[in-house]
Chains A and B, each alone.
Chain A
Amino acid sequence: MKFFKVLSSLLLSASLLFSVQSVHADKLSQIKERSVLKVAVPQDFPPFGSVGLDLKPQGYDIDMAKYLAEQLNVKLELVPVTSANRIPYLQTGKVDLVISSMGKNPTREKAIDFSDAYAPFFLGVFGTEDEQVSSAADLSGKTIGVTRGSVEDLELSKEAPKDTIIKRFEDNNSTLSAFLSGQVSLIATGNLVVAELATRYPNKAPKTKYMIENSPCYVGVMKRQEALLTEVNRLIKLAKKEDVLEKFSQKWLKAPFPADLDS
């Protein structure tokens, strides 16, 4: 009996080792070998990922995935995920990368690795072309609209000079209406909200003045896949240099790619 016990536990641990080994085998060479890059993308979060009129996925994240696959010279397989299951998909090896407008935080960093930032996602101050504002101090004496009780309201109330007139509106729509109707020439909100506005009113959309709170998006890579991570980072750097990200940003977010994204 003892013999069987020892044998079975040996077998078990061996199989475990083997499976761990296979999961942690070098992903990059694996991807090249099978010539397919599997990427988890959102499909319910425009403009990062949604389903287009032609029923095909579209968005910033999808373009980013296409770019990476192209550069690696492999085929792309998109795997739609939700924000709740995107990390498990990566951890269990169902996908090679997560490009799903994912922000970085310490808890997530324990579970997976993050590349350099590839997309801007921030709360900021936006305004008409002629407003000269590049920091909170410049708001002195100016009137700015914001949605009451939002994160941007709390941050703005903390950092804006005393003589800034903060007009607080009931909801995002009222804040935007106040801007569009010219009642305020500065607003604090998220860049996605502004992107949506820019899609509908290309001439009237506010321009980015400065960021209040920056939480850019990163590509998620499985832990201990240094080769893949390095390669992804190299391609992101290349994309920044060759204005690929600038193009994505203009196309999906209707705003230039911020230079100080990683800071």
Chain B
Amino acid sequence: MSYQLDFASLVPYLPEFAAGVWTTIELTIISTLGGLALGTFCAQGRISNEAWLRRTCACYIEAVRNTPFIVQLFFIFFGLPALGLKMTAWQAGMIAMIINLGAYSAEIIRAGIEAAPKGQWEAGKTLGLTRRQIFMHIILPPAYQRVYPALVSQSIIVMLGSAVVSQISVEELTFAANFVQSRSFLSFESYMLAAVIYLVLAILMRQAFGLLKCIAFKNPSL
């Protein structure tokens, strides 16, 4: 057991890692925004008065939460072209991540919404607000605040899960590590570097969410 770590030989491959990190960040930002928006919509759908909307949202959420991410990804990338729906690997990866986060965050946000005391709905009604107004202004903001830590964790899970999209040739961080490993055979070093970068990214992401929280929820009345 005398393995000599050789990080110096990774230096020529740093541009590959940098490009990979950038793609990972790009995928994460877009899919977090898209996924949370989709999740909010579906959470709303699940408590809607319309039965069809409730059922559609429930089907989507259950289908996504009960199948592996990689299968969803392959379904979109390798399966859908058979129906004439062709997209690039990057688009397919992005859509898979949005769909995935959408379903998980819908359930998290629903939990926040259902935790709202019934009295708040009633208070809104007494003030003459519509159901939509009550939801948007009274129920949703504190719901977000309640489940904020869970949403942050889920977004970070999706960021880490983006490693899987390397399987359909999206050139993100894990792809870069795999690629460098296949060229330099420095598997220990490349994956160690990738792991450290993921760790840093996750910490930065948590910090960013913390900052966002301070800005978004500074209203003490919430």
Chain A positions within 8 Å of B, measured between CB atoms, are 145, 148-149, 153-154, 167-170, 174, 177-178, 181-183
Contact = CB atoms under 8 A, between A and B. Distances in A.
Contact of A177 (B78, B178, B182): B78
B169 A167 contact: yes
Interface stretch (B43-51, B81-89, B98-106, B123-131): B81-89
A145 B169 contact: yes
A169 B78 contact: no
Contact of B89 (A170, A177, A182, A183): A183
Interface of B is mostly: helix
Given A181-B78, A181-B81, A182-B86, A149 B182 contact: yes
A43 to B, nearest CB: 33
A138 B56 CA distance: 49
Contacts of A174: 167-169
7 closest residue pairs by CB, A with B: A149-B182, A181-B81, A167-B169, A181-B78, A177-B78, A182-B81, A170-B167
29 contacts: A145-B169, A148-B179, A148-B182, A149-B183, A153-B182, A167-B169, A168-B169, A169-B167, A169-B168, A169-B169, A170-B167, A170-B178, A174-B167, A174-B168, A174-B169, A177-B78, A178-B78, A178-B168, A178-B169, A181-B77, A181-B78, A181-B79, A181-B81, A181-B82, A182-B81, A183-B77, A183-B78, A183-B81, A183-B86
Nearest to A174: B167
A182 B167 CA distance: 17
A182 B92 CA distance: 14
B78 A168 contact: no
Given A167-B89, A169-B167, 17 more contacts: A145-B169, A148-B178, A148-B179, A149-B182, A149-B183, A153-B182, A167-B169, A168-B169, A168-B175, A169-B169, A170-B167, A170-B178, A178-B168, A181-B77, A181-B82, A183-B77, A183-B86
Contacts of B168: 169, 174, 178
A145 B88 CA distance: 13
Contacts of A183: 77-78, 81, 86, 89
Nearest to A181: B81
A183 B168 CA distance: 10
A148 B167 CA distance: 10
Contacts of A182: 81, 86
B17 to A, nearest CB: 16
Interface of B: 77-79, 81-82, 86, 89, 166-169, 175, 178-179, 182-183
A170 B82 CA distance: 21
A168 B168 CA distance: 8
Nearest to A184: B169
Contacts of B179: 148, 168
Contacts of A177: 78
Nearest to B166: A170
A168 B169 CA distance: 5
Contacts of A168: 169, 175, 179
Nearest to A154: B183
Contacts of A170: 166-167, 178
Contacts of A181: 77-79, 81-82
A170 B164 CA distance: 11
Contacts of B86: 182-183
A177 B89 CA distance: 13
A169 B82 CA distance: 19
A178 B80 CA distance: 12
A203 B76 CA distance: 23
A170 B168 CA distance: 8
Contacts of A145: 169
Nearest to B167: A170
Contacts of A167: 89, 169
Contacts of B82: 181
Contacts of B169: 145, 167-169, 174, 178
A169 B182 CA distance: 12
Contacts of B182: 148-149, 153
A213 B78 CA distance: 29
Contacts of B79: 181
A82 B183 CA distance: 32
A148 B169 CA distance: 9
Nearest to A168: B169
Nearest to B88: A183
B48 to A, nearest CB: 36
